[in-house]
Amino acid sequence: MQRRRVVITGIGPITPIGTSARGLRDGLRAERSAVREVTRFDTSPWRTHIAAQVDDFHATDHLEARRAKRLDRFGQFSVVAAQLALDDAQLDITRENRDRVGAMMGSALGGIGFAEEQMINFLQEGVRAVDPSVALKVFCGAASCNIAIEMGVTGPNSTNAMSCASGTIAIGEAFRQIRDGYADVMLAGGSEAPLAPLSFGAFAIIRAMSTRNDDPSSASRPFDRARDGFVMGEGAAVLLLEERSRALARGARVYAELVGFGTTNDAYHMTAPRPDGTQAARAMRLALSDADVQPHEVQYVNAHGSSTPLNDPTETLALKQVFGDHASRLRVSSTKGYYGHALGASGAFEAAISAFALHDEWLPPTVNLQCPDDACDLDYLPGHGRDARVEHVLSNSFGFGGINAALVFRRA
C-alpha cells in the first residue's frame, strides 16, 4: 500500500507566551520567559512557588457561555485549541466528510485540577456541592471526545496519557491515521491544566521542580549548569493535519510536512531516564527511518530539554549516538525556557514550533542558557534566535515511565 503524505495546515496554540499561531510566534520572537510567581493558589506548603500560567485565556472569548460552562479548564483548552487550528487552516469542517475527520490528543493529568476543586467542595460542604459532571470532565479522554462533540467529527478518536510525551504521541498516531488511509484530516495535540495545589505539590514533593523562587524568569534553564529542575506550565496546542493532495487542492497554506514518528520505552525507572540514552536514541532512529531521512539531513532539533539535572545530559548523549560526527553541526534548542514544562501539552507546543521553524526560517533560542553544562556540549543556540533555512527538523519528547517519542518534519 502506498503511504499517503501528511501536511500541517493549521496550528492552534494556547501557551503562557501567546495564544493563536500569531501569538505564539510573537512570544517566541520576544525571547522572554513567562515564568512568574504562582497567583492562583497558596504555594507555601511547597518548596516551589513559581510556574508559567496562561493568564490571558478566557473561554468565553472563544465559546458561547453555556458551552464553556460544560467544560473544565482542561476541556476548554482542548476545544478552543482545536477551533484555533481550524480557523488558522481556514477549513470549514461542515463541508467535510466528518467520518474521515478525527481527533487525537495527549494529556498527562487530564482534568485533575477540576477534580481537586470538587474534592474540596465535597469535604467542606458534602456531596450536594459536587459538580454532577465531574466524572465526565476529569478523564483524559475528555480532550479528544469534547473536540469530536464540538466539531461533530466521527473519525478516529483517542487520548493517550503517556506523561510528558503524550502530545507528541498523539500527533504521531494521528499522522499514521492519515498516512495509512484511515482518515483525511486529524486534529491532534495535547492539553494540560495541572496548576492546582496538590497536582503542583506532587511534583514539588519529589523535588522535580526548580526552587529558583527569587528569580522566576530564569528558573527554566535547559542545558545550563545552574539548572535545578523543571518549571510547571499549562496550556494546549492542536495541529490540523491533512492528506497533502487534498490540502493543496483547496489552496491551503502548508507550514510543514510531517514525515516520521518513533516511540520506545526505557523499561528502566518511573522518573529517571535510562542513563545510557539508548532507547531515547532508538526513538529518534525509528522516526528518521519512518521518514526515510538520514541523520545528516537534519539541521535542527527541538529538544525535550526539560531543565532537569538528569534529562538534559542524557538527551545530549542520545543525540550524539544518533547523529555521530554530524551532532557537532546540528543546531539544537529547548524552548521550555520560554514557557516551562506543560507536561502532556509540551510536545504539541514543540511540534508547532518545529513547523514554524521550517515555515518562517527562524530557529528559536534556548532561553536562559548562560553557562552550558559540560555534559551538554552541542550547539544549543544560547542568546538569540537564528535566521536559518532548514530542510528537516526533529522534535523530541520524553516522559515519566521511560516514554520516548520523536517526530520528523520536512520543509513543505
Q: Which residues contact 384 (CB under 8 A, 6 or more apart)?
A: 31, 365
164 tagged catalytic: yes
Residue ranges in 52-190 assigned as alpha helix (H): 65-69, 73-89, 112-125, 134-138, 142-151, 166-179
CA-CA distances (angstroms) from residue 387 to 99, 106, 157, 199, 365? 41, 31, 38, 39, 11
- Given 140, 145, 164, 376, the catalytic residue: 164
What distance in Å separates the CA atoms of residue 123 and residue 115, rounded to the nearest whole number? 12
What distance in Å separates the CA atoms of residue 81 and residue 88, rounded to the nearest whole number? 10
Beta bridge partners of 36: 51
Helix (H, G, I), strand (E, B) or coil at 116: helix
Contact indicator for 327, 320 with CB cutoff of 8 Å = yes
β 6-15/256-265 pair status: antiparallel
What distance in Å separates the CA atoms of residue 291 and residue 88, rounded to the nearest whole number? 26
Residue found by looking up cell 525556557 in the block: 337
Beta bridge partners of 386: 363
Contact indicator for 194, 233 with CB cutoff of 8 Å = no
Cα angle 55, 84, 189 (rounded to 5 degrees) comes to 85
Cα angle 284, 290, 292 (rounded to 5 degrees) comes to 100
Residues serving a catalytic function are 164
